[in-house]
């Protein structure tokens, strides 16, 4: 197993990365500062209020999400999904992430209001074949609830999902893209990051957070 950085090293690196952030105002905050090849289930977030840590599961074999150059990525190219989740303790929240995109616009899925890994959930992502932002509901099968066509680009983007009661709104770089009112899973607290095949064409996560 790769050698992990110490808590003091991680703390110092995190301070450099996001100087001035008050972790206590977040349920989860993670800069993914760690040694290369550390898998997500062996990585400790900067802030984890509930304390469950990251949990990983794949629907069909595969490779765990891992840290590379202080970014989270899933380098394995193969069939099936790869989701990593954490219990935020919140069903109403603001979830944000700063991610890199591939040439076709693909990004890591932003998963929320989930019952656990590879279970019933919502997720927001960019579909790199249909060239659309999409909001999906998974309840034994995938349902495309909303879509917005937009040309692909490979820019880095800041994603935000706001859930309050039955309302869900998804933003990209501060611009609202999709909004929906729905009761499904509105009391669930797991959230996280996911990818589908080919997973090594998904992009990387620079940081990820959930706050009230």
Task: List the domain range (segments joined by +) for residue 26.
Answer: 7-211
Question: Which pLDDT score is estimated for 58?
Answer: 62
Question: Which pLDDT score is estimated for 212?
Answer: 96
Span 21-38, pLDDT tens digits: 788 899 999 999 999 989
Question: Which pLDDT score is estimated for 13?
Answer: 42
Cβ neighbours for 174, distance < 8 A, ≥ 6 positions apart = 158, 160
Question: Is residue 71 assigned to a domain?
Answer: yes
Question: Is residue 1 assigned to a domain?
Answer: no
Question: Is residue 30 assigned to a domain?
Answer: yes
CATH of residue 156: 2.60.120.560
Number of domains in the chain: 1
Question: Which pLDDT score is estimated for 17?
Answer: 45
Question: Which pLDDT score is estimated for 79?
Answer: 54
How many other CB atoms sit within 10 Å of the CB of residue 159?
A: 23
Q: Give dist(CA 8, CA 44) in Å, integer.
A: 12
Question: Is residue 68 assigned to a domain?
Answer: yes
Question: Is residue 42 assigned to a domain?
Answer: yes
Which token pair is 1? 């197993």
Taking the alpha carbons at both ends of the chain, their separation in whole angstroms is 35
Q: Give dist(CA 212, CA 202) in Å, integer.
A: 28
User: Which residues of the chain register pLDDT less than 70?
Assistant: 1-20, 57-63, 75-81, 196-202
Q: Give dist(CA 190, CA 201) in Å, integer.
A: 25
Question: Is residue 15 assigned to a domain?
Answer: yes
**Nearest C-alpha neighbor of 31 from the set 52, 16, 53:** 16
Question: Is residue 177 assigned to a domain?
Answer: yes
Question: Is residue 2 assigned to a domain?
Answer: no
What percent helix, strand, coil does the chain show, rounded to 5? 10, 45, 50
Task: Give the distance, in angstroms, between the CA of residue 18 and the centroid of all CA atoms in the same chain.
Answer: 18
Question: Which pLDDT score is estimated for 88?
Answer: 97
């Amino acid at each position: 197993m790769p050698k992990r950085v110490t808590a003091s090293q991680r703390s110092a690196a995190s301070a450099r990365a996001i100087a001035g952030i008050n972790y206590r105002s977040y349920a989860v905050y993670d800069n993914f500062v760690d040694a290369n090849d550390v898998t997500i289930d062996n990585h400790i977030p900067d802030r984890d209020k509930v304390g469950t840590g990251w949990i990983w599961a794949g629907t069909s074999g595969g490779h765990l999400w891992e840290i590379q150059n202080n970014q989270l990525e899933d380098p394995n190219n193969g069939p099936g999904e790869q989701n990593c989740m954490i219990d935020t303790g919140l069903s109403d929240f603001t979830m944000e992430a700063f991610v890199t995109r591939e040439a076709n616009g693909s990004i890591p899925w932003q998963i929320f209001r989930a019952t656990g890994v590879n279970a019933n959930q919502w997720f927001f992502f960019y579909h790199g074949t249909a060239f659309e932002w999409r909001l999906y509901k998974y309840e034994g099968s995938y349902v495309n609830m909303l879509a917005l066509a937009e040309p692909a680009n490979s820019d880095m983007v800041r994603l935000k999902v706001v859930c309050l009661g039955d309302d869900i709104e998804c933003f990209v770089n501060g611009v609202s893209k999709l909004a929906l009112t729905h009761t499904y899973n509105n009391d669930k607290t797991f959230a996280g990051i996911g990818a589908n095949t080919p997973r090594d064409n998904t992009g990387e996560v620079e940081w990820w957070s959930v706050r009230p």
